[in-house]
Structure 1
Amino acid sequence: MDSNEGGAPTGSQDAMPVLSSPIMQRFSFENGHHAQRMAAVCPSVSSKGFMTNFATPVYIALLAVMLVLPSPAADWISKVHEFPLIKQMNGSSNDYFTNSRESMMCFPHPESPRLSSYASDHLQLCSGNGHYEIASHQERTTPDAGACHCYGCFSGKHCEHLNSDCDLNIFHGDPTLFEEYWLTQPDAPTIIPSWQGLSYFAHRHNSYLFVDSFLEQTIRQLHGMIGNAVTEGRFLVLGVGSTQLYQAALYALTSPDSPTPTSVVSAIPHYSSFEGVTRFLDSRRFKWIGDAEKFRDSGTSEPYIELVTSPNNPCGSMNKAVVNGNGSVINDLAYYWPHYTPITAPADYPIMLWTLSKITGHAGTRLGWAIVEDEKIATKMAFFVQMNTLGVSQDAQARGVTLLRSITSSYNTRPERQPFFHLSQAVLEDRWARMSQALQNSSRFVLPEFEPASCSFFGRAFQPNPPFMWLKCKVDEDCAQLLKDHKIISRGGRAFGVSTQYVRVSMLDRRPLFDLLLSRLAALH
């Protein structure tokens, strides 16, 4: 990160503190993309003098700064109005101001996320173990009417009680870990006007009719910033999550005129939903076969579709196709983002599946996209989505635009916003370190090991931090049953095509539930 100074207004320092040069903080990534943050520096003064005499020079400086780097005026001015409140709430300028002998930061630039007053109240009212939900306007009896909705294993009016005998359910990879980040982003809501979304068609000039052009632009911009996928010259198909796009790809790659169903294979351990969804469709066009290595070794020349998940769910490995024949390949890249794994090169495959939930954590929004090389395949996939659900909800697309733009803007000109991927990667890295430390001398479990790799986005090397921990019981036993006997509901190895000696443990739960998981697993070793 480099800092370059530029000019700014000057004035009498005897009368009041004056802003000196603004600082442009520039992030440089090895993939050639850049982002900037802006702050301003003023001479050190006592906190009392600073608070009482701050307004006039700040407004002057804001005008100058906005001429150099335009930004919504409300974004800048709101920060000035927040300073006295911030000072009062935190009790120390060190929380929000970078102090030195000669200068202090006049715009917030925290080293760790700071909760909005709403988020802070939200967590405190429910002891950090639940949501505080305010009743609707029609139901309110008092201005602050509402109630705590506690997370699993917690109860009480303020979620203050832990039920030590509860079943901790981590069967699903529910990405609620990211909730804490979004509580720090009160300016990232999606407000949809009542007149918007009346038409079936998101954008009448888009060849795929149901794809919002702003969302497509935002998706391509994000992939370009991260450097994790080739998008130029490719076609974008939206789906109700990547599960629907997987089905659409099966439809597009097979023919009803084929004399036999096309075999669908994947290296084990494979993503558990692949088998379930393929069998559920019960199509005459394709059939689930399973183990890709066995299929390859059989020497058959029949057509096939190979599913490659990389990083793999459940084990986190970076997978490649193993059959290498004349069949088709679908690459599921849901977790190829820098908070989970180093970005070593842009993914470049004919069909690449992505989903919003694995980036931002918004699994309930049900939004995914496919980046497709062949226009005919993309058209068939879009047709499947059209026939299946008449496209994708415009409300979901609008929310997707807001969330993804919020992430990209966290690397641009918003000094108070934490860089999303850096913060999320740090949280996951910490969780993996704590879990590894707790189980490193375990007599029951074998933990996975990962080699560090250089990440072009972060500009440094680190070990992957997969969203799941792929545990193996040292004794030949049903590992999922072992955990269940100790009140941990997990997903056993059989669902992923391997023995019951393996089990998948989610690392994505909310903080209090992850802490509970950690303590229960540590007690088992």
Structure 2
Amino acid sequence: MASGNGKLLRRCTTNGSPSACGHSWEPRHKMPKSTGESNQARSWNLSMLWFFTGAVIVFHLFAVFVVLPLYKDGGNRSNFPFPASSCSGNEQRTETSVLKEDEISVSSTSGSIPISMDSVINLDHGDPTMYEKFWRQTGNAAELVIPGSQTMSYFSDVANLCWFLEPEFAAEIRRLHRLVGNAVAVPDRYIIVGTGSSQLFQAALFALSTSPEVFGHGGGGRPLPVVSSVPYYSSYPAATDLLQSGLFRWAGDARSLKEGDKPYIEVVCSPSNPDGLLKTASVSSNSGKVIHDLAYYWPQYTAITSPADHDLMLFTASKCTGHAGMRLGWAIVKNREVAKRMVKFIEVSTIGVSKDSQLRAAKILKTVSDQYELEAAEDFTKLFHFARKTMRDRWQTLRLVIAASDAFSLPVFQPQYCNFMKENTLPFPAFAWLKCERDIDDCESFLRQKHKILTRGGKHFGADTKHVRISMLDRVETFDMFIERLSSIDL
């Protein structure tokens, strides 16, 4: 058969069907491709050649500079150039801490568990994550559902001096203090709620520095000195001088203040952060005002010897129940006028305090008190017993490590009778006030640079650089790794 251009076409005539030959009609000679099609094919082939060549080069570089060094290092993931992650249970954490010359950069995600023995251990902050275990085992006892229509108003109780204080929260605060016996919180004491004890501290400074007694003693002409005995809490200086107020200023060690008739404010942190010792006011003068910071006066940290009954006392949920993220604290105040000025400070600065956080805190405090009023409840379901056992075990472990080394030392505590636990007990502070011995002059740098342990140096507390503060409140994985690394230090 002839085609339209006169060329012959091959045809299979078996059974008269082209398909019987296994193929269809096709030209005897194929038409040559155009020049454009040939150039396009060559261009595509060159592109693919460059692509595969580049891929081979990249793979080779990756193998030489990444995989091979990692293999030679025995598979140590700490040297891997990308952030390493590990999954524990349902929680995935990323470790981005690296040590580079004289500087350690720590991940902004706080509270992450070190993933390897070469990880940076951050014990600088008092993040109370050890309490997570207790609250997990309580199940839904402390859960709270807040309807969308609830807590919408600014006001909680307009009849109360502290009009933004939720009544349920106030009731549970008084109930818990009665149960523990660590503070007098009778109805004629004013309870002021704040966004953590940090806000309450500044509210107290404002209230005391603007009192008529202060101005009557000649305090109106200059900022009042704010002092605390060394070692003092490291945040006191910054919190006092943050706004450069003309009402008050940080003046350092209380023992350096010359006693006289000039007004002042002394801050007494007891048990002390950082060293865990019980403290009283250092300055004895009728012209001074005192703020008692009792954040750690709970039975898991120290013996409850008597209910505190000072003019102005500060407490915080973070160190009581471990819920630092709620950002709630409370003050117990005797004087109505001081309480009014504290409320005014909070009213002007934040127009009150989160009602949602207060309702959650009320539920949590209620759960704590309820467990102690159930006579059949086991100790592991009781917050203070759980936390005290955890702290006791950690301190015993730490002291064994310190006793086996002449490189460090710790404060020596004396046992006291605890009215709450009904027994003699040693203090188990939230922080270890560690001292480097021998020729180590800068303990913070020594632990940081040589052993990747982040602590807070003594200079931040008005003390010498041979001391560091170490948090005892982290998760068990972090604490165990810290103990293992500390025990390996050999001078």
TM-score of the pair, normalised by structure 1: 0.69
Q: Which amino acid aligns with 2:489?
A: L
Following TM superposition, by how much is the alpha carbon of 1:151 offset from its aligned partner in structure 2, in angstroms?
Answer: 7.6
Q: Corresponding residue for 1:312?
A: 272
Which whole-Å CA distance do the structure 2 matches of 1:253 and 1:507 have between them? 33
1:237 corresponds in structure 2 to 192
Partner of 2:101: none
The answer for the alignment partner of 2:117 in structure 1 is: 164
**Aligned-partner Cα distance in 1 for 2:196–2:433:** 24
Could you say what secondary structure the match of 1:524 adopts?
coil
C-alpha spacing 1:160/1:269, structure 2 compared with 1 (3 Å): closer
Counterpart in the other structure of 2:240: 278
| 1:120-519 alignment, distance < 5 Å | 130=88, 132=90, 148-149=92-93, 162-187=115-140, 188-232=142-186, 233-255=188-210, 258-295=220-257, 298-326=258-286, 327-413=288-374, 415=377, 418-475=381-438, 476-485=440-449, 486-519=451-484
Counterpart of 1:166, as a letter, is S
Aligned equivalents of 2:325, 2:89: Cα separation in 1: 16
The residue type paired with residue 498 of structure 1 is A
Structure 1 unaligned blocks of 5 or more: 1-125, 134-147
Q: How far does residue 294 in structure 1 lie from its aligned partner after superposition?
A: 1.0
Change (3 A) 1:432 1:249: same
Counterpart Cα distance in 2 of 1:290 and 1:484: 27
Q: CA deviation at 1:346?
A: 0.4
Where structure 2 has 5 or more consecutive residues not aligned to the other structure, the ranges are: 1-84, 98-106
1:317–1:415 CA distance, 2 compared to 1 (3 A) = closer
* Deviation for aligned residue 1:441: 2.5
Contact 2:138–2:381 under 8 Å retained in 1: no
1:177 aligned partner, one-letter code: M
Q: Answer with 1 or 2: which has the greater Rg.
A: 2
How do 1:23-62 residues align onto structure 2 when only pairs under 5 Å count? none
* Contact 1:131-1:149 within 8 A present in 2 as well: no
Shift of 1:152: 8.1
Give how far 1:205 is off.
3.5
- Give the 3-state SS of the residue equivalent to 1:162 in structure 2: coil
Counterpart-to-counterpart distance in 2, 1:161 and 1:294: 42
Q: What SS does the corresponding residue of 2:424 show, helix, strand or coil? A: strand
Asked whether the equivalents of residues 307 and 331 of structure 1 are also in contact (C-alpha less than 8 Å), the reply is yes
Query: How many equivalent pairs are there?
Result: 380
1:197 and 1:160 map into 2 onto residues whose CA distance is 36
Q: Return the alpha-carbon distance in structure 2 between the equivalents of residues 191 and 197 of structure 1.
A: 12
Letter in 1 for 2:151: G
Q: Percent identity?
A: 42
Q: Are the counterparts in 2 of residues 216 and 236 from structure 1 also a CA contact under 8 Å?
A: yes
Higher-helix-fraction structure: 2
Counterpart amino acid of 1:200?
A: Y
Contact 1:339/1:465 (8 A) holds in 2: yes
- Measure, in 1, the Cα distance between the counterparts of 2:434 and 2:203: 32
CA deviations 1:250-287 (Å, max 9, x no partner) are 00011396101111000000000001111112100001
In the other structure, the counterpart of 1:16 is: none
Shift in Å at residue 150 of structure 1?
Answer: 5.7
CA distance in 2, matches of 1:306, 1:131: 47
What SS does the corresponding residue of 1:472 show, helix, strand or coil?
strand
